Chain A
Amino acid sequence: MLIARCALRDQAAFLALYDATSAKLFGVILRIVKREPWAEEVVQDVYLRIWDSAPRYNATLGQPMTWLINIARNRAIDFLRSSEYAMAHQNEELDDALPADVDLALSAETRAEMSRLAGCMDLLKCDQRDCILLVYHLGYTPTEVAERAGHAIGTVKTWLRRGVQRLRDCMRS
C-alpha cells in the first residue's frame, strides 16, 4: 500500500515506508559493505531508487519486502564492485567472518518461514551452507569464495547450485 502511494508521488507515504523498513535494509546493506559511511551512501541511493521505481512495482515482482531487500542487496553488491570501494579497500583488512548473529528465528512476523528456512539450511552440507551465506550475506562472488576456501571455482559453483536446489526442494516439501 505504501509503495502504491509512493507511485503517486506521495512523499508522506515514502517517508513512512522509510521509517518502517530502513533499519532492516540498512542492516542488510551494512552486512555487505561493512562500513557505516558506505552503507549510508548506499541506503540513500536505495530509497531514491525505490521512490523512482515505485510506479513500476507490481505483485509479479514479489512481496514488497522481498522487492525492497533485493534492491538493497543489488545496490550494496554493485557498490562492492565500484572503483570507490576498490580504492578505499586497497589498504584495509576487513573482517570477513561469516555472520554469527544471523538468528533465523527472531522475527515474530516471519517466524514460521524463517524457522522453516533455518531447518532447511541445517540439512545442507557445511560447504554448501557457507557458500550461500558468504554470497548472500556478504556479497562475495563465487570466485572470491573459491579463493577464500581454497577450492576450484567450478566446485564452488556446484556447491551453490546444489545448495540452492536442495533448499528449494526442502522448502517445497
Chain B
Amino acid sequence: MRYDNPTLREHLASTYALGSLRGLARLRFERLMRDDAALRALVVDCQEMLTPLALGAPDVAPPAVVRSRLAKATSSGGATSTERGLWQRLSSWRALAAFNGLVAAALLAVVGLGLIQPAVVDSPELVYVGVLSDRANRPALAVLAYNKPFRLSVESKLPLSTSADREFRVWIRDSETDAIVFLASIPPGQKTLVIEEAAWRRLKAAKALLVTEAMSGSPTDAPTGDILFEGVCVNLKKWSEAADPSAKP
C-alpha cells in the first residue's frame, strides 16, 4: 500500500481518529504513525477537530470506589495494570520483564499466589510463557506453551485476524546466538496448535518469542516483513524449581 498518497493518508488519519480502525490494522497504523511525524500531526489535527463532540457528552461522575482502587494501585509509584484474569498476570510480568533480574521473582510470586496452579500429574502443564508487546511496548499477545502434549496457545487482546492467504508465525530468539529461528505457523482463525518435539526443543533455547505475518506457504528460513509482537520467553518450570528445590523430582 502506498502510504505517501495524500488522500489515503487523510482517509486513514480520519478513520483512526474516529475509532474505526480495529485490530491489526490499528496496530499497523500506529506503527506507521510512530515513524511518520507528518502523519501523526494529521491524526492529531483530526482528533483535535472531533474532540468537541466528546466534550458535548454530559459529565457523569464515576463511582467513588474507582478512585479508591486507583489510589491503591498507584500508591507504589510504579507502572501498573488492571487487565483482569490472564492479562492481569501477563501485564505485570511484561512490565517486570523490562528488568530481567525481576522476572523470576515476579513469576515465582505469581506461582506462589496460586494464580498459576502447579501442574497436576497427567494434565497439560504450562511450561513456557511469552508475553509479547507491540512496537508501542503495550502487552498485546501471550504465547503459552504446554507439554503433555506439546502445544502452543495464543491469547490475544485484539482480534488476531489476517486474510485467508496469510498466516501468523511464531519465532524464537535464541538465547546464545541471538538468531531468529522459526517455531510454528498459526493458521487463520486458530488459537491453539499442536507442535512437534523438535519445535519444543527449540523453545528450550528461546530467550524471546516473536510473531510476524507472512504469505502462507512462503519460506520460513527467516522472518519477512515487520515483527508485529515480541517479548521475553520464560520457563515457568525452571522458576518453580529455583524457588523450591525440594519440588524437584
Please give the residue numbers on chain A whose beta carbons come within 8 Å of chain B beta carbons, in ascending order.
Answer: 9, 11, 14-15, 18-19, 22-24, 26-28, 30-31, 36, 39-41, 43-45, 47-48, 51-52, 60-63, 65-66, 69-70, 73-74, 77-78, 81, 99, 101-104, 106-107, 110, 113-114, 117-118, 132-133, 135-137, 139, 141-142, 160-161, 164-165, 167-168, 171
Contact B49 A117 (CB under 8 A): yes
Contact A28 B57 (CB under 8 A): yes
- B63: chain A residues at CB < 8 Å are 36, 40
* Distance between Cα atoms of A24 and B37 in the complex (Å): 29
Contact B48 A102 (CB under 8 A): no
* Distance between Cα atoms of A106 and B59 in the complex (Å): 11
Proximity bits, B60-97, A CB within 8 Å = 1, else 0? 11110111011101110111111100000000000000
B52 CB contact (under 8 Å) in A28, A31, A104, A141? A104
Contact B22 A141 (CB under 8 A): yes
- A62: chain B residues at CB < 8 Å are 44, 47-48
Which B residues, 148 to 199, have Cβ-Cβ distances below 8 Å to chain A? 157-159
- B66: chain A residues at CB < 8 Å are 22, 40, 43-44, 47
Closest residue of B by beta carbon distance from A69: B54
Contact B52 A110 (CB under 8 A): yes
Return B51 CB to nearest CB of chain A, in Å: 5
Q: Is B245 an interface residue (CB 8 A)?
A: no
Dominant SS at the B interface? helix
A102 CB contact (under 8 Å) in B56, B81, B158? B56
Given known contacts A48-B70, A107-B55, A23 and B20 CB-to-CB distance under 8 angstroms: no
Contact B56 A103 (CB under 8 A): yes
Contact B81 A52 (CB under 8 A): yes
Could you list 6 examples of A-B contacts with CB < 8 Å?
A23-B60, A74-B19, A77-B19, A101-B58, A114-B56, A164-B46
- Contact residue range for chain B? 35 or more
Contact B57 A99 (CB under 8 A): yes
- A161: chain B residues at CB < 8 Å are 11, 14-15
Q: Is B1 an interface residue (CB 8 A)?
A: no
Contact B53 A137 (CB under 8 A): yes
B14 CB contact (under 8 Å) in A14, A22, A164? A164
- B45: chain A residues at CB < 8 Å are 168
* Distance between Cα atoms of A165 and B78 in the complex (Å): 42
Most chain B CB within 10 A, of A23, A66, A69, is at A66
Contact A23 B62 (CB under 8 A): yes
* Distance between Cα atoms of A39 and B57 in the complex (Å): 14
Other A-B pairs, 19, CB within 8 Å; known A51-B79, A78-B158:
A9-B78, A22-B66, A23-B61, A24-B55, A43-B62, A43-B66, A44-B69, A48-B70, A61-B44, A66-B44, A66-B51, A99-B57, A102-B56, A104-B56, A107-B55, A117-B53, A135-B19, A137-B57, A164-B18
* Distance between Cα atoms of A101 and B14 in the complex (Å): 24
Return B68 CB to nearest CB of chain A, in Å: 10
Return A152 CB to nearest CB of chain B, in Å: 16
Contact B70 A15 (CB under 8 A): yes
